[in-house]
Amino acid sequence: MHLRSLRFLSHHGLLPVLLSTLVCVGMVKARVDWSQRSVYLWLLWNLFLAWLPYGLALVASFLQTQRLARWWLLAPLGVTWLLVFPNAPYLLTDFIHLRPRPGVPLWFDAGLLGLFAATGWMLGLLSLEVWKRLLEERVGRAGAWGGVALVSLLCGYGIYLGRVERWNSWDVLAEPRKLFEAIAAHLREPWENRALLGITTLFTVLVLLSYYAFEQLRRQRHSEDAHT
């Protein structure tokens, strides 16, 4: 059973994202020790939020492997995952905080932000892969790719809501009325807000293209493994 669990986690890319996360934590600690300042400690919270969609995807995949993937279990799990999924690629936007600061070279901070962004992106792609595979088993490959495109669009919009308008995933429960009023305003006049259109489009394309490349690499690897 223990070996089966390890294979399950290895199949979902736990080791690389775990190692990357540990290096992220180590770099933040090194920066604090080096500069004696707590700058960038908040990155750890953002990285924790990026782990949430990955964790939910692992739960969904586990239910599938145990033949427990009933719609009444997957539906709320999928909605929750969709709400927190933008937290993973959102880490890329933290580069707006990059600027020269006393005590630490700029190149170190650039590497720090880059590693956090890469880790968040990996977590997002790995979690998206799980849900795409679940969709593919139910609606076929074309339908699953339609789902990936829709998720990418909603993710881009979610990143805009978080970075520009400072909404959080939990505001759907904490301040639902205000959040839905803001969304309704965007839907009424979407072309009037250049930041909304630009950020949503940019991250839709980034997520979609990076996932396409990710899937092609995984399929190529599986094909090579099958012939060895």
Interatomic CA distance for residues 186 and 170, integer angstroms: 20
Q: Which residues pair with 101 in a beta bridge?
A: 104
- Statement: residue 146 has pLDDT above 90: yes
Long-range contacts of 132-135 (CB under 8 A, 24+ apart): 132/211, 132/215, 134/60, 134/61, 134/64, 134/69, 134/74
Global pTM reads: 0.91
Segment 6-39, tens digit of pLDDT: 565 656 678 999 999 999 999 999 999 999 899 9
> What pLDDT is recorded for position 95?
98
- Statement: residue 190 has pLDDT above 90: no
Q: Is the dihedral of CA 209, 128, 85, 82 positive or negative?
A: positive
Segment 178-189, tens digit of pLDDT: 999 999 999 998
Interatomic CA distance for residues 22 and 14, integer angstroms: 12
Q: List, in order, residues 6 or more apart from 96 with CB less than 8 Å away.
A: 163
> What pLDDT is recorded for position 103?
87
> What pLDDT is recorded for position 23?
98
- Write phi, then psi, for 104 (nearest 5 degrees): -135, 135
Question: Residue 221, Cβ neighbours under 10 Å: how many?
Answer: 10
Segment 195-225, tens digit of pLDDT: 999 999 999 999 999 999 999 988 887 666 6
What ranges do the domains of the chain cover? 2-226
> What pLDDT is recorded for position 189?
87
Give the single-character DSSP code of 111. Answer: H
